[in-house]
Amino acid sequence: MNDHSQAFADRPDLLTGSETGRTLVVANPISGTFHRRRLEKMIAQLRAKGVAVDLHLTSRAGELRTLAETLPEDVTTLVVAGGDGSLNEAVNGLVRRSGSPPALAVLPFGTANVLARELKLPFHASPIARMLRRRRLAPLHLGQIGDRAFLLMASAGFDGAVVHAVDPALKQRYGALAYAFAALRLAMARKGRDVLVDADGERIVCRIAVATTARCYGGPMSITTKTGVTMPGLRLVTLADDRPLTLLKAAVMLGLGRLDRLASVGDRPMTEVRMSGQGIAMQIDGDAMDTTDAPIRAHPRLLSVVVP
């Protein structure tokens, strides 16, 4: 039993099969901070303690989703060694399984690693191996946009435009700084576009709209204090204007975890939201996505995640 046992009270199947099953580690070798030796050290430590572990390296985008959907039944833990984009693929495979899904775990190798920050996961091999052996589970609440699941957020407006504008070569080289460069360039040059948000029967016009399951955003920064991935309920966070000074203030307040102090920020619970607007850009879990006005809501399936 653990602190989250109550949250699993009506889903005991998510807590079963812990010690006897196999663990599959799927690593994305192109994720931002991939580190072969850290990966091998974690696996060696698990095997030394008798945990049955297999390793698979992805060779293309999209592979993880298929793997997660078709995992053999005896795999009870899927460890994603990668970032939030890889995790998004994994959850989209796991929610399509008919039976009880394996627990998800993370060896953070991404650039922003928002889920890892949200769950306060360790980043080094030994504490992760210990965490996997202890196998303490928490519920992982997801959102969906249309039929695609997300584990952190789906958003439209300035932040979507930044994700689309990031140069992959700069991201590989400078990591999270590449987002700051892109944001600065866009903030100075770009003509803002309205995002039209239909939120549970109300129309909101803003410049950034984020439907979030998570507390963290863009790394360790906090976009809301009113939800988190282990809690049910999405929040709709909006920013009414995206002039450079407002964006600067928003960045500072995000860093302080007090975004809701800004007059131009809205933070409300949401059930169903649609986002639209001429020429707006969208992102999902930190990756660019095609613009869609498909409904955004809580995902009906609950997953479980290994936590410290």
Ligand X SMILES: Nc1ncnc2c1ncn2[C@@H]1O[C@H](COP(=O)(O)OP(=O)(O)OP(=O)(O)O)[C@@H](O)[C@H]1O
| Distance (Å, whole) CA 59 – CA 16 | 31
Does residue 227 touch ligand X according to CB under 6 A?
no
In terms of CB distance, is 20 or 59 closer to ligand X? 59
Secondary structure of residue 126 in the 3-state scheme: helix
**Rule CB under 6 A: which of 269-288 touch ligand X?**
286-287
Contact 122, 128 (CB under 8 A): yes
Contact window for ligand X (CB under 6 A) among 24-32, 124-132, 233-241, 273-281: 24-32
In terms of CB distance, is 118 or 267 closer to ligand X? 118
- Selected binder of ligand X within 23, 113, 213, 230 (CB under 6 A): 113
| Least gap, CB of 212 to ligand X (angstroms) | 15
| Distance (Å, whole) CA 157 – CA 205 | 11
| Least gap, CB of 39 to ligand X (angstroms) | 13
Q: Which residues of 75-107 are buried (b: 16+ CB within 10 A; e: fewer)?
A: bbbbbbbbbbbbbbbbbbbbbbeeebbbbbbbb
DSSP 176: T
# of chain residues touching ligand X (CB under 6 A): 21
Instruction: For the chain, list the strands marked E by DSSP.
Output: 22-27, 53-57, 75-82, 103-108, 136-145, 148-150, 153-157, 195-199, 202-206, 208-212, 216-217, 221-222, 234-239, 265-270, 273-276, 282-284, 287-289, 296-307
| Distance (Å, whole) CA 253 – CA 84 | 23
| Least gap, CB of 128 to ligand X (angstroms) | 16
In terms of CB distance, is 125 or 152 closer to ligand X? 152
In terms of CB distance, is 27 or 138 closer to ligand X? 27
Does residue 69 touch ligand X according to CB under 6 A?
no
| Least gap, CB of 214 to ligand X (angstroms) | 12
Does residue 93 touch ligand X according to CB under 6 A?
no
Does residue 32 touch ligand X according to CB under 6 A?
yes
List, in sequence order, every residue forming a beta bridge with 141; answer none if it has no partner: 302
| Least gap, CB of 66 to ligand X (angstroms) | 12
Does residue 58 touch ligand X according to CB under 6 A?
yes
Long-range contacts of 170-176 (CB under 8 A, 24+ apart): 171/32, 171/111, 172/32, 175/32, 175/33, 175/111, 176/111, 176/112, 176/218, 176/219
- Selected binder of ligand X within 60, 98, 202, 245 (CB under 6 A): 60
| Distance (Å, whole) CA 43 – CA 23 | 10
Does residue 31 touch ligand X according to CB under 6 A?
yes
Secondary structure of residue 224 in the 3-state scheme: coil
Contact window for ligand X (CB under 6 A) among 26-34, 98-106, 261-269, 274-282: 26-34
Does residue 111 touch ligand X according to CB under 6 A?
yes
In terms of CB distance, is 259 or 284 closer to ligand X? 284
Does residue 159 touch ligand X according to CB under 6 A?
no
In terms of CB distance, is 32 or 228 closer to ligand X? 32
- Selected binder of ligand X within 44, 56, 61, 173 (CB under 6 A): 61
Amino acid in the structure at residue 81: A
DSSP 215: S
Does residue 89 touch ligand X according to CB under 6 A?
yes
Binding site for ligand X (CB under 6 A): 28-32, 58-61, 82-86, 89, 110-113, 286-287
